[in-house]
Amino acid sequence: MRRILLSTVKILISAALLYFALSKINFYDLASRFDIASLGWIGLAIAVMFLQIFVGALRWREISADCGAPLVITQAVRFNLIGTFFNQTLPSSIGGDAVRLWLVARGGAGWRAATYSIFVDRAIGLIALAVVIVASLPWSYRLIDNPHGRSALLIVDFAALAAGAGFLLLGRLPWPWLRRWWATHHLHACSVIANRVIFSRKRGPKLAALSLLVHVLAVVVAWCVVRSIAAPVLFGQTFQLIPPVMLITMLPISIAGWGVREATMGLAFGYAGLASNEGVNVSLLFGCVSFIVGAFGGLVWIFSAEKRAQGSAPIEVPE
């Protein structure tokens, strides 16, 4: 019952935010800006998103090996594609992660190792995104002169940084009870793994490069969308605005980020002195690109060996 209630709340939040965001869009004007070149840019955005999934799979593969859930690259890519599909279809922002967890566990790694690999992968991705935003703050402050916008940017980013730093610090604390107490046992174990892979001389630089590249590719996808409608937005502006929006979109309060992404993008563009409706246009098309890639992931799932083995039995998604 609680799961149904939470899903209903998320659907209502997405619907309400989408309604207010889309009320700013002139769909006739948006459609009139599409031509053959626009389709080329959208096609490029789709290709870059597939590349982003591949890079994310490379990072996950590095992490999962340390968690006791080794994956070959084809497995990691396939599971990431399937996760992308379920991110778009399940009434939860973590639906794709839950399905990836299930796929890895069913592959013989076990539930604990599978859970650790997903959690550590997400945590490292969050830390990398916060670092990207901090690194671009000097330029973001020049772009955003609205005091409320600057304050929101600082609060969101440093909250993410504090959460990431606290997570990493947990694994370095010497207190034995952290490993024994039920409330901290698994979190501490994940933190130890994250510290080991991040600060490894051999794998750390590779992991950092892959993590940063994932977020840079998200900016490139958004830039392709910007070019598809010839929006008056520079690449540098896109680089400064997209990462904070992606960070806020990670909050598990909507369906696949719909509504939250559009409302936040419109607000971010407005704070930057750009047209708010252009931000909503870009966000809407970004979501459509994600949906197309997710649909391909759905085909991968339909024809997968895991789907045939599972048959018609439902997948339980953790709350």
**Confidence grade of residue 317 (pLDDT, cut at 50, 70, 90):** very low
CB 228 within 8 A of CB 285: yes
Residue 312 has what pLDDT? 46
216-262 pLDDT per residue, tens: 999 999 999 999 998 888 999 999 999 998 888 877 666 666 777 88
Q: What is the mean pLDDT of residues 50-62?
A: 96
Q: Comparing 13-17, 119-123, 216-220, 289-293, which segment has the lowest mean pLDDT?
A: 13-17
**How high is the mean pLDDT of the chain?**
85
* 47 in a structural domain: yes
Q: How far is CA 82 from the centre of its chain?
A: 14
Residue 252 has what pLDDT? 66
The most confident of 134-138, 163-167, 314-318, by mean pLDDT: 163-167
Query: What are the φ and ψ backbone dihedral angles of 232, each rounded to 5 degrees?
Result: -75, 65
Between 276-302 and 2-22, two packed helices, what is the crossing angle to 10 degrees?
Answer: 140
* 1 in a structural domain: no
CA distance 268 to 53: 26
| Whether the predicted model's global pTM rises above the 0.95 cut | no
Which domain covers residue 149, as residue numbers?
A: 35-302
Domains held by the chain: number: 1
Q: Is the pLDDT of residue 144 over 60?
A: yes
* 81 in a structural domain: yes
Q: Is the pLDDT of residue 276 over 90?
A: no
Q: Comparing 13-27, 172-186, 239-253, which segment has the lowest mean pLDDT?
A: 13-27
* 29 in a structural domain: no
* 312 in a structural domain: no
* 80 in a structural domain: yes
* 22 in a structural domain: no
CA distances from 97 to 16, 52, 90, 190, 218 (A): 25, 16, 11, 16, 18
* 26 in a structural domain: no
CB 14 within 8 A of CB 258: yes
